[in-house]
Structure 1
Amino acid sequence: MTVKSSSRPGITTGLAPLSLANTPAFIERQFPVGRLSAETFKERKAVQSQTLTSLGSYWKGRKPLILVRAVLLGALLPATDEPVADLDIFLKLMGMDDASLARRFNGSAAAFARLFPDFAEWVTEVNGLRRNWRDDLSEPDRLGRMAEAFATLPYADRLKHVLRPEECDERELLAPIWSAVNSHLGTTARTLPELVEELGIARFGHRPKVADTFCGGGSIPFEAARIGCDVYASDLNPIACMLTWGAFNIIGASKERRAEIEKAQAEVTAVVDAEITALGIEHDAAGNRAKAYLYCLETRCPRTGWLVPMAPSWVISKSSNTVARLVPDHDQKRYDIEISAGVSAAEMVEAEAGTVRGGRLVHPMNPERSGVEVKTIRGDYRDAAGITRNKLRLWEKLDFIPRPDDILQERLYCVQWIKADSIGKARQQTFFAKADEDDIVRERTVERIVSENIVRWQADGLVPDMPIEPGDNTTQPIRERGWTHWQHLFGARQLLMFAKFREFMDASETPQTALYLEIARRLDNNSRLCRWTSASVNADGKSLNSDRIGQVFSNQALNTMLNYAVRGITYQNEELPKRYPSIAGTTRIKTHSAMAIDESQDVFVTDPPYADAVNYHEITEFFIAWLRKNPPAPFDQWTWDSRRPLAIKGKDEGFRRDMVAAYAAMTRQMPDSGMQVVMFTHQDAGVWADLGAILWAAGLKVTAAWNIVTETESALKEGNYVQGTVCLVLRKRLGQANGRRMEIEAEIEEAVADQLARLTALDDSWHERTSAETLYTDGDLTLAAYAAALQVVTAYSTIDRQPLDRDLYRPLARGETTMLRELVDYAARVANNLLVPEGFPRDMWRDLIAAERFYVRMLDMEAKGAAKVADFQNFAKSFAYGGYTEVMASTAANAAALAGAADLKGRMLGAEGFGATLMRQVLFAIWKTMEGAERDPKRGVTILKADIGADYWTTRQKLILLAGYVAQKTARTRPDESAAAAELTEALKLDRV
């Protein structure tokens, strides 16, 4: 790469090896957040099909690979004096430009013709059916026309019909781009790793070294290694390190190496299968084999003395209308459990009501239909310290089933059988049956085997002997079941199966490290914490999925079950993806705390714990208890302990001190030309400001911030603020300088104005080029304003001779705020004053209260197609409007929407806040105009006159402008409301005294 001009730096590996050392990075100037949000959302929606999920979906916090790649490339690519060209190159490298989308299309020619009827002429027809692309259409022509067709759709709609970039062959996907890339950058690369190496040499003098000291599920180190960086990954938690190792060495393994791993897994499973078969504990007399065992708790009802099976529902399968029925046995005061298939719809509804409803035990032989509280049966009480305790017996180290006098018993009540003639076939025939006497005999056999071997198994490390240490998450199984050791979370069949799997694995000469991950994956799918889930069906009764056993960590907690399911040995876990992404860079993994980093790295990309983060240091003990003894190399070099005292956790000043120490250590190991990108997802603006102060205290300054929507609708937390991932870009703060508060506020005003002007100009240029796409919503621009403020503030070592972290290490009083929070809020106000919605009078904008500004702004954003809940949440934060959900019709992740006039009706009218605004009165008048068989704007005018009274005539012009604005902005989203608003506007104009 050659130096083209002083304003547009270039790369040359010979003449100027550090020609980019002080050049701003692409991510510091722009980031296509709209397209990236759509891509990350698509990856999230892939759920189990995500590349790294198959290693262990119990780690929930992985960042999407597409986002990680974007951050890494954005940090390495230079920002030149041609921003539109920079963006074009970035999108090409990401496989996100229009031409790449054509290559990512995963349908047939006929499917494309159905999707784009106007382009059907490119497809041949045989007997009236479209079959294939026309023979006279060359591949470049075809791809060019496909790109042209895709460009007519909104970007999110295009993604419905294409593969994710990670699912494509990267060399094929990127093959056509290198001429343009090299021409723009002056490079000579033909692959992404080659380009990354050239960029690294230009910035740092060598291939870029990327580190993640909170590596977690491994997505950041994995993607960095894939694109050719030399990677250093570390985490205090050995399970995180194991998953990261698996990303490199299993997912990133060659096809041949993967075949060896899968062969090893199959061999060990086959050996365990043979022994289980020889024991005769999974087959019945007819040769059928158990696929799943369904257990429930049982307890003695204190009111009636009956032994009652406990379950929230007795529905077993909705696809076959199979239920469990309780049949009273009056002689023994207990219930037989019968299994019935093909029952009526009414019987299915009846079975939905289990024997535990709303925390109360309800059963047929208790005449008191309200039942008995389960906590009464457990004997819950509060001790002198206010801690909830109960009368459950605490299990001992060698226990694995309840004792006869325990309050809570367990019972096998149903078995899902694979028919003998379909065992081993791809499509198995199964049926459900009650647990009969033979099944109980087999249960006793399993229990006897476990009882005879558990002491040896624990000594040899084949099953856990580790106590459960109480904590925020780990106290739950102790309190709710009396379980005190980790093996108590597993039934007798599960202990036997895992002991045998580990025993044969340890004796095997096959790759044991890969099998270690397999054990962890199976543990997540086979314990007493696994829920039985009946298949869901559609309105026609057709099954949409299969009956299945859920995983332990369906969320980030140790949830005890009233009824749970156990997998038989043939119940296979999910397979590894049939993709072989190669690792181009070198990789190293270490187990230590983030603050212990002692090696120089060029770029740190981290996803740190937050103030309300998942307690991985606690819940991963579920796996550590099984894996800590005799691990294979290289795992034997790690510390197999959660090391709770060293984990960065909590939300108080101790948490903030630990975070400062961690990021200060990273800063010390980073060259002056280095960079950090911190990813975090949090809904609390106070935490956002805290993080800014933490990073300032670590010696860093902010150079950019971008918000990417990464949460699917099901993952959204309740709250008022950010639900995407904020990417905070940072550099070292070099030198010492003091700033005066008043002068800094002036600098913020200027920086915010410059930032908004630059991004708006880029947006306009891109919009002219694409004709249909907007790069940045107002929410993105507001966040960019925060970044501009932080960029100004964090460049100073003190403000008014006070350090920016002066309030970081002490608890704040109620209502107290920090200096950084005040300055960020000031930037938001500056941005809000500058970003007057299109078509809204500037003089009126200044007079609106926060809630009214929010509504007016979001009307404009909706009109532009915005539907990301993160946009609404960001503006709620900007306007300090915590109650924004009261004016929302939907808060779905990608389908957020304001409540329109017909949604609001008379709600909130006259109340404080939004209810007292002119906009609310106009919306009510629009609804009155719409009410009835025909629209009548006179009703709306009459309502406004009555509600506003004597001030009506002085405010009429404002009412006209507001009604006209609603009419303009809802034309696409709510056309009926738009028409009514337009008629109300005209009626107001014609109204005379």
Structure 2
Amino acid sequence: MALAPFEWKDKPALIEHLFPVQKISAESYKEQMAGAGKTLTPLGSYWKGRKPLILNKACILASLLPVTEDHLKDLEIFEMLMGMDAETMQKRLEASLPLSKRDSVGELLVLPYSEQVSKAKRPEELDDHFFAHIWYSVNQHLGTTAKSIPELVEQMGIARFGRRPKVADVFSGSGQIPYEAARLGCDVYASDLNPIACMLTWGAFNIVGASKEKRAEMSKAQRILAQQIQKEIDELGVETDGLGWRAKAYLYCVEVKCPETGWMVPLLPNFIVNRTESIILRLKPDPHKKIYDIEVGFANSETELYDAKNGTVQNGQVVHSPDGTTQYRVNIKTIRGDYKEGKENKNRLRMWEKADFIPRPDDIFQERLYCIQWMKKKPIGLKYDIEYRSVTDEDLAREKKVIDYVGIHLTEWQEKGCIPDMIIESGDKTDEPIRTRGWTHWHHLFNPRQLHILGVINKYISDYPEFVVMFPAMLNLQSKLCAWHNDGRKGGLQNVFSNQALNTLYNYGSRGLLDIIHYLNKTNEIESKVNTNTEVKTHPAQDLKVENDIYVTDPPYGDAVKYEEITEFFISWLRKNPSKDFAHWTWDSRRSLAIKGEDEGFRRGMVAAYRKMTQKMPDNGIQVLMFTHQSGAIWADMANIIWASGLQVTAAWYVVTETDSALRQGANVKGTIILVLRKRHQELETFRDDLGWEIEEAVKEQVESLIGLDKKVRAQNSEGLYTDADLQMAGYAAALKVLTAYSRIDGKDMVIEAEAPRQKGRKTFVDELIDFAVQTAVQFLVPVGFEKGEWQKLQAVERFYLKMAEMEHQGANSLDNYQNFAKAFKVHHFDQLMSDSSKANSARLKLSTEFKGGMMSGDAEIAETPLRALLYALHELSKEVEVEDVLLHLMDNCPNYLPNKTLLSKMADYLAEKREGLKGTKTFKPDIEASCARILSEAIRNQRL
């Protein structure tokens, strides 16, 4: 019997009670490591910060699934739907192995889950028949009649909302969330302020989500278009040498006049063209013309190849020697004419004009072609021979032909929208090309060859929305911001947005047509047809006008990429002549409307957006807010935003979503907070004095529930679901759930308080409440071996160190865990306690031997604490100092030794247990630490005073 409409209307969602974050983290990490193999990345690798599809799937399904009295069964069903159950995992492993090795699957199934995942196919890579075994159990448990996930999703949507569920993302970005929602069988509403984001989302639905027949049509159209484009390019005769070779890449460099010698010097950071093939550049002085000819050739020795790593640009200086003896060095800032006007940095570069597309003869920075990479198809197969050659007179004649052709057609092409005529607006990222090159319009970032190729492509694709979607991916491959990568057999060009900036280069590369034309139809082979209703709009989030049942959002925040600026690079090419499917969108970045920063504008924009979403969802609607946080102030702001939007936290989870490649100085965020939100229906009032008991009770109930489920799972010989970091987040959620349920606290209207502007250096009432709630939650998580009173007696830094020792014992070594606990414990300089070898996914605390005698006194948080004294004692024992002497030093170093004697012994026992069994290295020897800790604990207990 089918589920009745609204039968689950008031049932809590699974995501509000349980979420197997460790398994989801493993799956998310696997997907992120797939790089270019990810499903949507081929549409536009320039868009960073994509949330894994598997995480989006988990959030949407867990928002629809109900909680029953049998939590273990709930978990089992969820894992089946996610492809994380044992039977599906076996199929995933088998699918990843050649037939000859499939007998070894049994050995793989006993590995930890994260290792199984690393060797298995991703669930999205498998066809539906791999999941046929799940439907009997799923339908039995849920009372459904589904035979596929879209059928199940529709039935669950009817049971909850009376219709197929409608999922919305008003910060759609690259379309990861909307696409996964549509693939699961939801109706989808997607919007973004940025038209490039909307185009990527449209592409996810209509290109990646296209049927097999539609994909075949696109491939046929792409072949015809490619032939037309190549025909027009070839008619000019500028990409071939007449001997069967075609240009694959052109290498250019900036050239300046040395003020000391009058010589024109090519600016080359190094002279290596291809390190693997030992191909280098040699400068040949021409004293009559005062120029350097550039010769391409093979290095005669390893020494010559090594010396070639130093070019004419060294430490911001132009370095050259016309006679091979006298070396001249001139600072590039001097050549550019840098100076200060008040606090503003300026220079004497000429600002380029709209009609410019090459430097004028008297410009400070000139450009020249210095090498061409040629390719020629081999007689058999699809492979090519590759050659690097010096530039010939014939090459320069072809170069001039391109310049003349672009010069003739520039104005006409700009009027038609084939190439840009848009001014570069000043901004944090867009100031770079203006300041360093004098480029004032977006077409200045492209040389004549690039304008020629891209202009022709743009002219032909405007009637084909699928290919217009792919055009920004081609722009990302073809500008003066594409660096030449000189490693590898073939060498290669980097993308414009290999980082999220607009950094100008002294030398760069330009691709030949054949090296970019295939991007017209470059999509992943994974087939996932979208059959539901999808709608894509471009508007600010707060202008939402339609109701949706579930909102899954990954909003912008203070440290987010400044897409509102850098995507103007793409918008400038498309705004005048977008495909008719996109013509109704606003083709502007609309910087002034973008939610960004960490100031009051950010908070107001976010409150307006989430308040509107709250208004535009049913009373039983649910919101899932993903938040990859970095700034503590922004994390506090999120709680304010939720309160002010009329929402209540019902759960919070923590999932690892980032890879080591994302690790940057000062930005070591490796995971995503998942906040689950509901409408706040009642106007409840309380007082702060009463909150403590309520928060503690809620935290206790939440944590004990999860620990109980974890124990049941482990009892079935399965890996545990949760670590202490997960329990901490659950405790935090329970505390926030209590807080955000109230509309008035201590007589104050919490919406008004949450919206109140911040005053620098002063905590708001909301900040104080959140701090109080967090501390209450953290204090409940007392490690086994300590009494609550003893634990609270310790200083925050001591509790942090001991808690993280337990985390390491559990194998949770990602740096984000340390960051999260440091914030919770209010440890301001946790990095002082971390090993120098710490990385994003393999962080650890310093051992006593690494502290040595440091941080015993002074400003360090751990200085002059009993724990620091204990660690020094362990260090002394490892150096074979006599135990009696170690105890004497411990008595001197430890404040109030006698009252702390029992606690010191307990801490030593605790560290011995947590260090034991950890995998050591040549420099990391936890077994020695454990042994010393046991000796010290025993010595303290038996000490007679």
TM range (shorter): over 0.9
- Runs of 5+ in structure 1 lacking a partner? 2-11, 112-130, 135-144, 537-542
Matched, 1:551 2:507: no
Residue in structure 1 matched with residue 923 of structure 2 by the alignment:
none
Which deviates further from its counterpart, 792-801 or 230-239?
A: 792-801
Matched, 1:166 2:166: no
The question of whether the paired residues in 1 share the 8 Å contact of 2:253 and 2:369 is answered with yes
Match of 1:472 among 417, 428, 439: 428
Post-superposition offset of 1:833: 2.0
Matched, 1:597 2:555: no
Once the two structures are superposed, residues 651-707 of structure 1 have per-residue CA deviations (whole angstroms, 9 ceiling, x without a partner) of 221221121111111111111011111111111222112112112211111111111
1:275–1:132 Cα change, 3 Å:
same
Post-superposition offset of 1:548: 1.6
Once the two structures are superposed, residues 404-442 of structure 1 have per-residue CA deviations (whole angstroms, 9 ceiling, x without a partner) of 111111111111111x35389532221212222222121
SS of residue paired to 2:352: coil
Matches within 5 A, 1:269-348: 269-348=226-305
The question of whether the paired residues in 2 share the 8 Å contact of 1:789 and 1:823 is answered with no
- Runs of 5+ in structure 2 lacking a partner? 919-925
SS of residue paired to 2:929: helix
Post-superposition offset of 1:388: 1.9
SS of residue paired to 2:710: helix
1:764–1:941 Cα change, 3 Å:
same
Q: Which amino acid aligns with 1:968?
A: E
SS of residue paired to 1:232: strand
Post-superposition offset of 1:223: 0.4
Q: Which amino acid aligns with 1:619?
A: I
Matches within 5 A, 1:509-528: 512-528=464-480
Match of 1:51 among 22, 39, 50: 39
The CA distance in 1 between the partners of 2:839 and 2:92, in whole Å, is 27
Q: Which amino acid aligns with 1:535?
A: D
Matched, 1:250 2:238: no
Post-superposition offset of 1:464: 0.7
Match of 1:981 among 933, 940, 944: 933
Post-superposition offset of 1:331: 3.1
Matched, 1:29 2:17: yes
The CA distance in 1 between the partners of 2:284 and 2:935, in whole Å, is 67
Residue in structure 2 matched with residue 461 of structure 1 by the alignment:
417
Residue in structure 2 matched with residue 655 of structure 1 by the alignment:
602
The CA distance in 1 between the partners of 2:41 and 2:379, in whole Å, is 28
Q: TM-score, normalised by structure 1?
A: 0.90
1:879–1:213 Cα change, 3 Å:
same
Matches within 5 A, 1:891-910: 891-910=838-857
SS of residue paired to 2:761: coil
The CA distance in 1 between the partners of 2:658 and 2:101, in whole Å, is 38
Post-superposition offset of 1:937: 5.8
Once the two structures are superposed, residues 744-780 of structure 1 have per-residue CA deviations (whole angstroms, 9 ceiling, x without a partner) of 2332122112111111111111121234x22111111
The CA distance in 2 between the partners of 1:915 and 1:351, in whole Å, is 50
Residue in structure 2 matched with residue 623 of structure 1 by the alignment:
570
Residue in structure 2 matched with residue 796 of structure 1 by the alignment:
742
The CA distance in 1 between the partners of 2:884 and 2:398, in whole Å, is 77
Q: Which amino acid aligns with 1:965?
A: Y
Matched, 1:209 2:157: no
Post-superposition offset of 1:841: 5.2
SS of residue paired to 1:913: coil
1:604–1:107 Cα change, 3 Å:
closer
Match of 2:59 among 60, 71, 91: 71
Once the two structures are superposed, residues 586-641 of structure 1 have per-residue CA deviations (whole angstroms, 9 ceiling, x without a partner) of 11111111111111111111111112322212111111111112322211222212
SS of residue paired to 1:179: helix
Post-superposition offset of 1:279: 2.2
SS of residue paired to 2:305: helix
Q: Which amino acid aligns with 2:114?
A: A
Q: Which amino acid aligns with 1:464?
A: P
Matches within 5 A, 1:59-458: 59-105=47-93, 131=100, 146=105, 149-169=107-127, 171-364=128-321, 371-384=329-342, 386-418=343-375, 420-422=376-378, 426-458=382-414
The CA distance in 2 between the partners of 1:220 and 1:703, in whole Å, is 21
1:943–1:362 Cα change, 3 Å:
farther
The question of whether the paired residues in 2 share the 8 Å contact of 1:786 and 1:824 is answered with no
Post-superposition offset of 1:801: 2.6
SS of residue paired to 1:846: helix
The CA distance in 1 between the partners of 2:871 and 2:178, in whole Å, is 51
1:225–1:949 Cα change, 3 Å:
closer
The CA distance in 2 between the partners of 1:795 and 1:841, in whole Å, is 31
The CA distance in 1 between the partners of 2:277 and 2:935, in whole Å, is 56
The CA distance in 1 between the partners of 2:236 and 2:116, in whole Å, is 55
SS of residue paired to 1:71: helix
The question of whether the paired residues in 1 share the 8 Å contact of 2:424 and 2:430 is answered with yes
Residue in structure 2 matched with residue 115 of structure 1 by the alignment:
none
SS of residue paired to 2:651: strand
Matches within 5 A, 1:914-993: 914-931=862-879, 938=883, 941=886, 944-945=889-890, 947-948=892-893, 955-973=900-918, 974-988=926-940
Post-superposition offset of 1:222: 0.3
The question of whether the paired residues in 2 share the 8 Å contact of 1:704 and 1:788 is answered with yes
The question of whether the paired residues in 2 share the 8 Å contact of 1:400 and 1:492 is answered with yes
The CA distance in 1 between the partners of 2:61 and 2:496, in whole Å, is 36
The question of whether the paired residues in 2 share the 8 Å contact of 1:926 and 1:940 is answered with no
1:342–1:830 Cα change, 3 Å:
same
1:369–1:964 Cα change, 3 Å:
farther
The question of whether the paired residues in 1 share the 8 Å contact of 2:699 and 2:780 is answered with no
SS of residue paired to 1:308: strand
Q: Which amino acid aligns with 1:670?
A: M
Which deviates further from its counterpart, 731-740 or 669-678?
A: 731-740
The CA distance in 1 between the partners of 2:628 and 2:639, in whole Å, is 14
1:367–1:301 Cα change, 3 Å:
farther
Which deviates further from its counterpart, 244-253 or 708-717?
A: 708-717
The CA distance in 1 between the partners of 2:866 and 2:326, in whole Å, is 55
Residue in structure 1 matched with residue 459 of structure 2 by the alignment:
503
The CA distance in 1 between the partners of 2:440 and 2:863, in whole Å, is 54
Residue in structure 2 matched with residue 864 of structure 1 by the alignment:
810
The CA distance in 2 between the partners of 1:514 and 1:343, in whole Å, is 49
SS of residue paired to 2:748: coil
SS of residue paired to 1:797: strand
Q: Which amino acid aligns with 2:239?
A: E
Once the two structures are superposed, residues 416-472 of structure 1 have per-residue CA deviations (whole angstroms, 9 ceiling, x without a partner) of 111x35389532221212222222121111111111111111111111111111112
Matched, 1:815 2:803: no
The question of whether the paired residues in 2 share the 8 Å contact of 1:291 and 1:416 is answered with yes
SS of residue paired to 1:854: helix
1:414–1:940 Cα change, 3 Å:
farther
The CA distance in 2 between the partners of 1:972 and 1:202, in whole Å, is 50
Post-superposition offset of 1:904: 2.9
Match of 1:692 among 625, 639, 658: 639
Q: Which amino acid aligns with 1:532?
A: W
Which deviates further from its counterpart, 972-981 or 631-640?
A: 972-981
SS of residue paired to 2:862: helix
Q: Which amino acid aligns with 1:887?
A: L
SS of residue paired to 1:340: strand
Post-superposition offset of 1:367: 8.7
The CA distance in 1 between the partners of 2:177 and 2:368, in whole Å, is 45
The question of whether the paired residues in 1 share the 8 Å contact of 2:644 and 2:752 is answered with no
The question of whether the paired residues in 1 share the 8 Å contact of 2:12 and 2:67 is answered with yes
Match of 1:566 among 505, 510, 514: 510
SS of residue paired to 2:863: helix
Match of 1:584 among 523, 531, 534: 531
